[in-house]
Amino acid sequence: MAFSWESYRRPMICLAPMAGVTDASYRQLIKKLAPETIVYTEFLSTDAIHYGAKKTMKELEFDKEDEHPFIVQVFGKEPEHFLSAAKVIEEMGADGIDINMGCPAAKVVSSCHGSSLMKNADLAKRLVEATTKEVSIPVSVKTRLGWDSIDDLIPFCKGLIDAGAQALAIHGRTYEGKFGGEADWDPIYELKENISVPVIGNGDINCAQDALDKIGNLDGVMVGRGTFGNPWLMKDIADALIHGKPPGEPTVKTISFKEKIPFIIEHCELAVKVKGQKRGMLEMRRHLASYVKGIDGASELRSRLVRVESVEEVESILCA
């Protein structure tokens, strides 16, 4: 059955798209722990997809057995490139397309991508229209509360829906808020009361209790940075939100570091399989630093792990 935001099981649990993090290895790892998770790619350039850039086309690949529902997140500013990229993404078998209108990175915003689209509602709508024009898979948007205030959130989102967006994921900070302070979910609840499509909340979910406390009237939650070093978080959230299990001590604290090692090694092996030895291990270094955070001897381990070049090196360090 084709994926649909409208009919998919509630509440929805989504792994936030994160540059340099949510590659196929991480997505597969998360799906192994919490099969209920809707996974997203790292955000990919529609320009690069339009021109068939080799690196980006490689990043579109996914495990057709284990990664569904699989959403490709894209960014850009040229409607024609969104249209052609959408065709490619649908042909590759993705379940949906998500447009990034929330990334606050200076390089992204200065190129009129990401969060900058919140200042150009007309272009934002045209991008949604172009993406939905010739594909049958659903198109969604991930954005923020606004540029510097929440005043335009509801009209901006209504415009996106009129243009064809079938779901929205909202990060509870404005562009100017970046990732500082506490995420504000109240405007997201108000948005849900004023629109008809599914709304997913994002921001500051670090344990299952956070998800229970924040979901309110929303259709789901999206979790990003809270999974760093703790992919087990998605299982805890699924147990609480979907299976009704009272949240107790987080899994990451109830299993020993020794029990985590085989899982960490598997993550390394997947990374090498997906991105090759050099790049796979390079990108694993940030994950390895997160995995050892808070354990005895973490500082010394971290200083060694951020220089590893092979899975065997990781094994020798962690199993010593």
Q: What total number of domains does the chain contain? A: 2
Polymer length in residues for the chain = 320
| Entry pTM | 0.96
Whether 17 is in a domain gets the answer yes
Domain of residue 284, CATH code = 1.10.1200
pLDDT of residue 14: 98
Mark whether 198 and 230 lie in a shared domain.
Answer: yes
Helix, strand counts (H, E) of the chain: 15, 9
The residues carrying an active-site annotation are 103
Mark whether 223 and 295 lie in a shared domain.
Answer: no
Q: What Cα–Cα distance (Å) separates residue 29 from each residue in 67, 92, 211, 276?
A: 10, 21, 20, 17
Give the pLDDT means over successive 10-residue stretches in the chain (320 positions).
94 95 95 97 96 95 94 97 98 98 91 93 98 97 96 98 98 89 96 98 98 98 96 98 95 95 96 93 95 93 96 94
Whether 4 is in a domain gets the answer no
pLDDT of residue 112: 83
Q: Which residue range forms the structural domain that includes residue 25?
A: 12-248
Domain end: 248, 274, 290, which one?
248
Structure tokens at 75: 């960014």
Residue 100 near residue 148 (C-beta atoms within 8 A): no
Other beta carbons less than 10 A from residue 195's beta carbon: 15
Residues forming beta bridges with residue 39, ordered by sequence position: 15, 70
Whether 312 is in a domain gets the answer yes
pLDDT of residue 293: 93
